[in-house]
Amino acid sequence: MVDVRDDDELLTIGAFAARARLSAKALRLYDRLGLLAPAHVDEASGYRYYRAGQVDLARLVAMLRQLDMPLARIAEVVGVVDTADGVAAGDRLAAYWADAEARFAAQRTLAEYLRARLSGRNSEMYEKFEIETVDVPEQVVVTESRHVLVDELPVWIPASLGRLEEAAATRCGGIAGAPFVVYHADVSPESDGPVEACVPVADEAAARAWAAARGRERQTGARVEPAHRLAYTRITKAQVAHPQILAAYEAVEAWMKREGLRYAGPCREIYFADWDAAGPQDAVCDVAFPVR
């Protein structure tokens, strides 16, 4: 016997839930979130009715939820499905999963790093970093500050440094040194700094005029960075990624402790190489602490 189901058949929420293999509670949630609305709601009783043809969509939403897809992105996929564009919907799912795999890879690296710390193998991790000191002369810098979380840094850092380098080259007498990023407070998934992007420039008066003209736009400024000594280690492009970079910071701090050096300012990353041209194993950044 063939089971013929009319897609336009109206089902009570209980019958629809059973057919979709979902709970009525889940269906009410999907409705409230705008992911799957009933086909009809009785004005007198408030009873919800769904069309049989909505079963596949209900199951799709439930399966996307099992992938821990955020509700906003589920809405994007569902919206494309509603236009009968299955290829576009598949592309959106693929993009989400690529992001998820990158996040899982970073979390796996962090878990391995923490396991090494907890098992007392810190010194083994630190041995691969060579620590040196360097004296940095006074320099004028143009700056841009922002509160950012750790997963926003890969986008914000190159964008802010790019804006500052353009200003330095065209308005502030030229770029006078390697750009760097100062972390004035912790940056993590829960803590947002603030972070300050800095580019050394040749003309202090021009830099201050540029900053004054911009006012509070993008929280830009110009200041004199005093002469200081840095303890630093040089890392590759691959090591810049979070959480790999944490080991470099801790290696410098461990060395400072052994050498009896004290903190003289917030930690920083100095980007001395062409990021776009560099390969994963090319040195691109110094992880540094001002010391005294």
Q: For the residues 238-260, what does the mean pLDDT come to?
A: 89
Q: Is the pLDDT of residue 124 over 70?
A: no
Residue 133 DSSP symbol: E
Confidence of residue 218 (pLDDT cuts 50, 70, 90): low
Q: Report the distance separating Cα 225 and Cα 62, nearest Å.
A: 55
The answer to whether the beta carbons of residues 56 and 7 sit under 8 Å apart is no
The answer to whether the beta carbons of residues 285 and 240 sit under 8 Å apart is yes
Residue 111: the pLDDT is 80
Closest CA to 190 of 149, 151, 246: 149
Please report, as a single letter, which amino acid is at residue 147.
H
Confidence of residue 159 (pLDDT cuts 50, 70, 90): very high
Confidence of residue 183 (pLDDT cuts 50, 70, 90): very high
40-75, pLDDT tens digit by residue? 998 888 888 999 889 988 999 889 988 988 888 888
Q: Is the pLDDT of residue 4 over 50?
A: no
Percent of the chain with pLDDT over 70: 93
Residue 276 DSSP symbol: T
Q: Is the pLDDT of residue 119 over 80?
A: no
Closest CA to 187 of 245, 144, 142, 143: 245
Closest CA to 284 of 236, 228, 218, 247: 236
Residue 266: the pLDDT is 96
Q: For the residues 178-205, what does the mean pLDDT come to?
A: 94
Average pLDDT, the chain: 88
Q: Report the distance separating Cα 151 and Cα 40, nearest Å.
A: 42
Residue 117: the pLDDT is 74
Q: For the residues 115-124, what does the mean pLDDT come to?
A: 72
Confidence of residue 227 (pLDDT cuts 50, 70, 90): very high
Q: Is the pLDDT of residue 253 over 70?
A: yes
Residue 238: the pLDDT is 86
Q: Which of 116-120, 180-184, 255-259 has the lowest mean pLDDT?
A: 116-120
Q: Report the distance separating Cα 252 and Cα 131, nearest Å.
A: 6
Q: Is the pLDDT of residue 2 over 50?
A: no
Q: Which of 3-7, 59-63, 92-96, 216-220 has the lowest mean pLDDT?
A: 3-7
The answer to whether the beta carbons of residues 38 and 11 sit under 8 Å apart is no
Q: For the residues 211-223, what does the mean pLDDT come to?
A: 85
Q: Report the distance separating Cα 81 and Cα 120, nearest Å.
A: 51
CA 153-154-157 angle, to 5 degrees, is 65
Q: Report the distance separating Cα 220 and Cα 243, nearest Å.
A: 28
Residue 84: the pLDDT is 62
